[in-house]
Amino acid sequence: MKRIYLSYHYLLIWEILLVDRYVDISQYDFEKALKKFNPRLVKPEGVFEAVYKIPLENGLSIWVYSTIDTQTGVSREKGSDAIRTILMFDDRKIVEAAPKTLRTTNWDDNLIEKIESLIEMTTDYLDPSGHPLIKKKKKDGKGSFYGCALYPECKYIYKGEKPLGDLFSG
């Protein structure tokens, strides 16, 4: 019982320290941070936060859910939410979600890093059915491979059957 109390006590202290580091973000600050990616503000049905779409090749795009309330133009209450960054296909299929970005003092650098990591996954290559291939990490963490972005519906994995440059290109 005592161990649980101490763990909970330290957790509360850690949470207090983190909340002190949380910052409010304005829509202007958010758009300034994303400017180099040429995002477009989109309005998904039933979503009341500013959502930005960064178009890529082969039907892929990155959607950034900002936590900015579209009514007020500022982020929600400190510590109540995090920025979500998602690689999407045809604006409807989630391909990959980056870890959430906390709204701490270095939120903009962390967000850019996550966007760039999702962009690095994308390729110009298509599988024989015309679906985009993305570069994925192996489960064991040793190396990577090219697989269909629509997994599990599409299970195609590039196995070197022909040179990568000879794969279909979008």
Amino acid letter for position 31: E
Can you tell me which residue has the tokens 């059915």?
129
CB of 83 closer than 8 Å to CB of 106: no
pTM above threshold 0.85: no
Taking 70 as the pLDDT cut, the residues of the chain under it are: 1-20, 79-80, 161-162, 164-170
Question: Percent of the chain at pLDDT above 90?
Answer: 51
- Residue 1 in domain: no
- Residue 13 in domain: no
Q: Looking at residue 168, what DSSP letter applies?
A: E
pLDDT in tens, 96-110: 999 999 988 899 999
- Residue 109 in domain: yes
- Residue 145 in domain: yes
Q: Structural domain tally of the chain?
A: 1
- Residue 53's contacts (CB-CB under 8 Å, 6 or more residues apart) are 39, 40, 41, 42, 61, 62, 63, 64, 91
- Residue 56 in domain: yes
Domain limits for position 121: 23-169
- Residue 47 in domain: yes
pLDDT score for 63: 97
